Amino acid sequence: MAQVRQNYLYRKNSGKEMNQQEYFLLTRILLQFEQRTQDIVSDISAAAFSDDGSLWIGSDEMVGVERLSPIGCSRYGKHQRFLLKDYIELFDDDEIDIEGMDFANGYLWLTGSHSMKRKKPKGKNLETDLKRLATISTDLNRFILARIPVVNGELIKEGMTGKGEQLVADSLQKVNQRDLLFEILKEDAHLQPFINGKIPSKDNGLDIEGLAVASNNRLFIGLRGPVLRGWAIIIEIQVTQSQPGVLVLQPIRDDGVKYKKHFLDLNGLGIRELCLRGKDLIILAGPTMGLEARMQVFCWKNAVDSVGDNIYQQDQDSLFPLFDLPFTAGCDYAEGLALYSCWGDKDGLMVFYDLPSEQRLRRDKQILVDVFQIPIQL
């Protein structure tokens, strides 16, 4: 068995006494869409900015991504849709359930949830609803992890950068109607019971909802579930291209293991999104399953320097809460994160919401998202 490096960082203080601040809302940004607007504004699940300033939006019920461009003060528009089947090979025509997104090294990266689902009762017929609650299924396109080149604000299948570097759209190698990531996780000692037991995402089963890309194609993948006795999980992998269009996993540890696991004390919450800020990882944490609770933003200091498998308790020098997000029951579920420069200040964090409140909606094609201040001690 591979040696596990346990990095226990004991809590010195509790709750808000440990660096936590109240949130400070810097501003709100208006996003203006054009096509199938209702399907987008009510289901934003991931977002990222590319180097050209474009804002890319992912939804958990679509088969494409949306691009918005800055069109003035605190506004993004000029909406354009890109269908992912034009760039990468999908399993079928079903939704992809995009839950994590990032931009790095000329590529837009995205991941599906890799999850199973339990059908919801509809309230029309008791016998039918009982059968629905016993039915577990999945959409094959949920098992997608891919990167697509962005050149001049456009997704391309392949092409050259201005520096002469070749870029090609790739996805993680497919195996048995799944991908390599799922194949290794289903054998993992901590995750195997949830995967082989076919536990749906909303029942604390496997559910990817966060993605951050570091240098050398190192990926941090956040799990909304399972949460193990209150510990959230981040999977770290490194990928490389085996042939045009296909990514494979590289050994990421000296013992040849192709993934690392990081267990984090996020006050019992799961991970809803990730984004890198230098060497630090900003973590959006929220309840797993179908629970409603206040969501929190954490900082994992020097995450990119992590070695081996780790267990992190909260500590003012390593893992600590930054602030709580405002809570409204039944709406405004934060699901996307992106760093955002506000008024020349780089300490802004843009937050995107699923099931937005009516107060966020403007007409039938516009939605307001929030920009919060990142505490300046970071």
DSSP string, 149-172: EEETTEE-SEEE-TTS-EEE-EEE
Q: What is the pLDDT of residue 377?
A: 62
Query: What single-letter amino acid sits at 298?
Result: F
Dihedrals phi, psi of 40, to nearest 5 degrees: -90, -55
**Mean pLDDT for the stretch of residues 128-152:** 94
Q: Pairing state of beta strands 260-265 and 310-312?
A: parallel
Q: How far is CA 15 from CA 19, 76, 214, 229, 265, in A?
A: 9, 36, 29, 19, 12
**Alpha helical stretches, state H, the chain:** 37-41, 126-133, 180-185, 192-196
Mean pLDDT for 337-353 is: 88
Report the sign of the C-alpha dihedral through residues 228, 229, 232, 237, in that order: negative
Residue 38: Cβ within 10 Å count: 11
Statement: residue 16 has pLDDT above 70: no
Confidence tier at 96 by pLDDT (50, 70, 90): confident
| 3 pLDDT above the threshold of 80 | no
Count Cα atoms within 13 angstroms, Cβ side, for 346.
Answer: 4
The answer to whether residues 209 and 229 touch, using CB atoms and an 8 Å cutoff, is no
Q: Residue 361, Cβ neighbours under 10 Å: how many? A: 16
Taking the alpha carbons at both ends of the chain, their separation in whole angstroms is 37
Give the mean pLDDT of 339-368: 88
> Rounded to an integer, what distance in angstroms lies between the CA atom of residue 320 and that of residue 235?
19
- Summarize pLDDT for 211-239 with one digit per residue, the tens: 999 999 999 999 999 999 999 999 999 99
pLDDT surpassing 50 at residue 256: yes
Arithmetic mean of pLDDT, 323-337:
93
Q: Which residues contact 1 (CB under 8 A, 6 or more apart)?
A: none
Q: What percent of the chain has pLDDT over 90?
A: 75
DSSP label at residue 302 = T
265 token code pair = 């004390």
Write the pLDDT tens digit of every residue in 40-73: 888 899 999 999 999 999 987 778 999 999 998 8
pLDDT at 346: 72
Mean of pLDDT values over 149-162? 88
- What local confidence, expressed as pLDDT, does residue 35 receive? 67
pLDDT, residue 14, reads: 41
The residues, ordered by sequence, that sit 6+ positions from 202 with a Cβ below 8 Å of its Cβ are 117, 118, 289, 290
Does 11 score more than 50 pLDDT? no
Under 8 Å between Cβ of 141 and 177: no
Which whole number is the average pLDDT over 167-175?
Answer: 96
Burial 225-264, CB ≥16 within 10 A → b, else e: bbbeeebbbbbbbbbeeeeebbbebeebbeeeebbbbbbb
Say what the pLDDT of residue 1 is.
Answer: 33
pLDDT of residue 42: 84
Segment 347-369 shows an average pLDDT of: 91
> Mean pLDDT across the stretch 15-34?
77
- pLDDT computed for residue 10 by the predictor: 32
Token duo for residue 356 = 């937005």
The residue among 80, 95, 208, 213 whose CA lies nearest residue 152 is: 80
For residue 12, pLDDT beyond 50: no
Q: For the chain, how many helices (H) and strands (E)?
A: 4, 30
Mean pLDDT for the stretch of residues 133-150: 95
Give the separation between CA 18 and CA 33, rounded to whole angstroms. 40
> What's the sign of the alpha-carbon dihedral 64, 38, 44, 368?
positive
- Residue 37 has what pLDDT? 66
Q: What is the mean pLDDT of the chain?
A: 89
User: Where is average pLDDT lowest: 10-14, 173-177, 182-186, 258-262?
Assistant: 10-14
- DSSP 8-state secondary structure symbol assigned to residue 375: P
Give the residue-averaged pLDDT of 324-329.
Answer: 91
